[in-house]
Amino acid sequence: MKNKVKEERNSLNLTQTDLAEQIGVSRQTVHAIESGRFVPSTILALKIARLFKLPVETVFELEATD
């Protein structure tokens, strides 16, 4: 799964720590999501999308191999 979490976070001038605090996870989890190693749950993905004020499909995108 691809995501645009890092781009959207940077566009809002948020650090990984800021984003982590706002969605209730650790900074390491945000890093893992941005690097594509960890796929968040539906709730967490919705929280991230809501914070960015974007549809969840815009932030997270399925790849052909998914």
Partner 1 sequence: MNFLSPFPMSGYYTKVAGMGIAIIGLLLIAWVQISGQPINRIEFNFEKQATFGIWIFTVGLYLMAFSKEKVDDERVQRIRQVALRSSFQILVGVFLAAQITSLLVKTAEIDFSIIPVTFTLVFYHLIFYVALIRNPEWAYKEVTVTENFRMNKKFYLIYTLALVVVIATIAWIKYFNN
Nearer to partner 1, 37 or 53 (CB): 37
Q: Is 38 in the site for partner 1 (CB under 8 A)?
A: yes
Helix (H, G, I), strand (E, B) or coil at 39: coil
Q: Residue 1 in contact with residue 33, Cβ under 8 Å?
A: no
Largest separation between any pair of C-alpha atoms in the chain: 32
Minimum distance, C-beta of residue 31 to partner 1, in the bound complex (Å) = 10
Rounded Cα distance between 39 and 35, Å, is 10
Q: Residues in contact with partner 1, total (CB under 8 A)?
A: 11
User: Which residues contact partner 1 by CB under 8 A?
Assistant: 20, 24-26, 28-29, 32, 38, 40-41, 44
